[in-house]
Structure 1
Amino acid sequence: MRRRTAGPGATATIADVAARAGVSTATVSRALATPDRVRPELVELVMRAVSESGYTPNNSARTLRTQRSRMVLVVVPSVANQMYAHVLRGIDTGLAPAGYGVIIGNLDNAPNKEGRFVDFAFARQVDGVILLCGFVPGSHGRSMASAGLPMVSILSPIVDSDIPDVGIDDHAAGREAARHLARLGHRRLGYAAGPREHVVDTARWTSFREGALAEGVDPADIVRIEGGEGMRYTYRSGVAAGERFLAMTRRPTAVFCGSDEIAIGFMKVMRDAGVSVPEDVSVMGIDGIEQTDYTHPVLTTIRQPRQDLGRAGAELLLGMMDGRSDAAHRRVRLPFEFLARASTGAPPAEAAGRISQDLAPARMG
């Protein structure tokens, strides 16, 4: 049987691809639209035929036919933050094999931009939504949740909702930070806070405090240091927290920061003020962004598996968009990595001396 091919100068059609691959047009359509549902050897055969024939899929026609945009909206507080950049890469890696693209909804730390992205959802310009912002965007009395689209949150659970979410165990992370600092000998601990009443920041602060208490630290010696700039997870918040730290009459000897950016901003203020890290104050963060590898001293941090979080969130959303009921109420927690580095050490000699006296057993008369 003679193999059908497009003539010179003609535009290849899906029938040309099917004839070249020796399969039906329905198989070609499935291999292009949902390759995960077609045998790998058939997908490879179809893709080779597509390449040889020069066929270009008509995505617009497919969208009209299936009522799907093949796009996912990802709402991000700020694309300038490296934490989110790596999560985005993981999301794209997870969505691409299923033929989905990404629209980035950059709030740029300005919630008044929410309306535009709420409109995307209600206009069905996207098939699903991934939230990295820790809340459901709303505008003019409309909540994005009311658009009826599958929705997943990454990095932060959404308070008072049943939206599936992917993240780490922030309670365990806070306790681990307290344990590390207390076992270095610190008995005056500070927490440089992120956004007030943010569910993740609340988890990290409360668990840090609980962990310190479990290590025998006096409750009066565990302080929360508020940042500035709306208390976001930014360098500026770290600078503001550092300035407040310097104004204290009785400073903590170790500070756990609500993000790596806060920690880096905090350390800059210490350096500018001539306060040595870790000799005068130990500093640690959480996230594991690349800049922590290049700070001086190198920052102790808790590394989140950022790309894995993004990929897991994407796969969870794909399951919801495909109608899998097991994906609709899931809570996924991935392991974190604790990196003890040079920015944390024993407390200053004068503080250590007082601690040893406090902990010495009472002498028998």
Structure 2
Amino acid sequence: MATMKQVAEKARVSTTTVSHVINNTRVVSDDARERVLSVIKELRYIPSAVARSLKNDRTHTLGMMIPNNSNPYFAEVIQGIEDASFKLGYNIILCNSDDDPKRQAAYIRVLMEKRIDGLILVPSGSDEELTKLLADEGIPKVLVDREVAGVAADLIEADHVQGGYDATRYLIGLGHRRIACVAGPDTLLPSGGRVTGYLRALAEAKLEFRTEYLIHSDFTSQGGFNAFKQLLALPERPTAIFVSNDLMAIGGICAANEAGVKIPQQLSVIGYDDIALASFSTPPLTTIAQPKHDIGQLTAQVLVARITNPTLPLRREMLRSQLIIRQSTARPEN
């Protein structure tokens, strides 16, 4: 790999001149600039991003932390972030905390050592170390979907309460009265919001809430499979289930098929997120579509604005979700 010294020697200039050409830090004669750029192209010299950041105090790199890289929801949010970041001249370094707050804190330290200009964080819960790390660092940051106690940052989220309410209201409108909810971890804000919406819709329709009809799981297909098995084993099983994400819903449909329960004839299922797989499940899944690409794009735009002007007032943006009706829901048989 070519070095700056080799570029300087071949272009017959000093290494300082090469540095000024690369970083636009001082006026260089047209003749010298053309020679340097020609040699850089010929030798395929790649400037050190770290060295350039020391001069410019910018790496044009954003760090992003997600809790689970196996969840397609995050892949679609990341696509929106990458699209907007690329247009704004920024690269992304992606880390996966695997829902572990300690790993999350360790990775954030790594990202900061890489001299990222800003951080996008979808928190996996929080602990004292994470809160202190985020509160102490002056790095611009945007939280997505989930707040961290004690940390002042821009927040981009979807309206989870409204989404949970809309899903449950739709099932009630079909005529269902025994409606269960398979929720995500009760420690996470989006999961709690969706349950709040579910409970609000039940109360508004004067339907009794049954504690055995609310099961918390872990946003995985296996978690949904296990929760459905538990619900379908009840003496009076539900006729409809609102599931807090599509992965759990797809796992749950597998459990229903295994138990010989026909969907939607004997059990209606509605998911959440509208991941690409949702329209290819059997049957295709009715779901609440989150504006995933829009969330990603807005997140990147807000973070770059924060990097450019750290004195901007904090933003809290809430985007609405949308009901997508497919073939996994129907009126109850009786």
SS in 1 for 2:142: strand
Matched, 1:187 2:177: yes
Over residues 74-131 of structure 1, what are the superposed CA-to-partner deviations in whole Å (9 max), with x where a residue is unaligned?
Answer: 1111111111111111111222233322111111233442242132255363221111
Residue 151 of structure 1 deviates from its aligned partner by 1.2
- C-alpha root-mean-square deviation of aligned residues, in Å? 3.3
Distance 1:271 1:52, change over 3 A: farther
Give me the whole-angstrom Cα distance separating, in 1, the residues matched to 2:327 and 2:74: 25
Distance 1:201 1:28 in 2: 56
Q: SS at 1:209's partner residue?
A: helix
Q: Which of 158, 181, 202 lines up with 1:168 in the alignment?
A: 158
Is the 1:114–1:137 Cα contact (8 Å) retained in structure 2? no
Out of 303, 320, 329, the residue aligned to residue 335 of structure 1 is 320
> Which residue is equivalent to 1:257?
243
Match of 1:357 in 2: none
Corresponding position: 1:207 with 2:207: no
Instruction: Spell out, residue by residue over 1:161-213, the C-alpha distance to the aligned partner (whole angstroms, 9 max, x if none).
Output: 43211121111111111110000001111110101131111111011110122
Does residue 348 of the first structure (1) align with residue 333 of the second (2)?
yes
Alignment of 1:1-365 (within 5 A): 10=11, 25=24, 54=41, 58=47, 59-120=49-110, 123=113, 125-133=115-123, 135-136=125-126, 139=129, 142-159=132-149, 161-214=151-204, 216-221=205-210, 224-227=213-216, 231-326=217-312, 328-349=313-334
Distance 2:167 2:53 in 1: 49
8 Å CA contact retained: 1:209, 1:222: no
Q: Which residue of 2 aligns with 1:36?
A: none
Q: State the 1:249 CA deviation.
A: 1.1
Report SS of the residue matched to 2:172. Answer: helix
Displacement of 1:282 in angstroms is: 0.5
Residue 115 of structure 1 contacts residue 138 of structure 1 at CA under 8 Å; is this kept in 2?
no
**For residues 190 and 141 of structure 1, do their structure 2 counterparts lie closer, same or farther at Cα, with a shift above 3 Å needed?**
closer
Q: Distance in 2 between matches of 1:15 and 1:219?
A: 76
> Number of residues paired by the alignment?
316
Deviation at 1:60, TM superposition (A): 3.7
- How far apart are 1:334 and its partner, in Å? 2.2
Q: Cα 1:220–1:140, aligned 2, differ >3 Å: closer, same or farther?
A: closer
Q: TM-score, normalised by structure 2?
A: 0.83
Q: 1:140 and 1:256, CA in 2 relative to 1: closer, same or farther beyond 3 A? A: closer
Q: Is 1:260–1:289's contact at 8 Å kept on the other side of the alignment?
A: yes
Q: Which secondary structure state, in structure 1, belongs to the residue aligned with residue 108 of structure 2?
A: helix
TM-score (norm 1): 0.76
Shift of 1:143: 2.8
Is the Cα contact below 8 Å between 2:135 and 2:151 reproduced in 1? no
**What is the CA–CA distance in structure 2 between the aligned matches of 1:137 and 1:103, rounded to whole Å?**
23
Answer whether contact 1:201 1:258 (CA < 8 A) is retained.
yes
Q: How far does residue 217 in structure 1 lie from its aligned partner after superposition?
A: 3.8
Tell me the SS of whatever aligns to 1:65: helix
Q: How many angstroms apart in 2 are the aligned matches of 1:280 and 1:221?
A: 20
Range 78-87 or range 120-129, more displaced: 120-129
Q: Which amino acid aligns with 1:303?
A: A
CA distance in 1, matches of 2:103, 2:174: 45
Mark the runs of 5 or more structure 1 residues left unpaired by the alignment: 1-5, 20-24, 30-49, 350-365
- Tell me the secondary structure at the aligned position of residue 255 of structure 2: helix
Residues 190 and 222 in structure 1, CA contact (< 8 A), matched pair in contact too: no
Structure 1 window deviating more from structure 2 (193-202 vs 262-271): it is 193-202
Q: Give the letter for the 1:213 counterpart.
A: A
Counterpart of 2:3 in structure 1 is none
**Residue deviations 1:293-330 (CA, integer Å, cap 9, x gap):** 1111110001112122111111111111112533x411
Percent identical residues: 27
Task: Give unpaired runs (5+ residues) of structure 2.
Answer: 1-6, 29-36
Work out whether residues 101 and 126 of structure 2, in 8 Å CA contact, stay in contact via their aligned partners in 1: no
Letter in 1 for 2:255: V
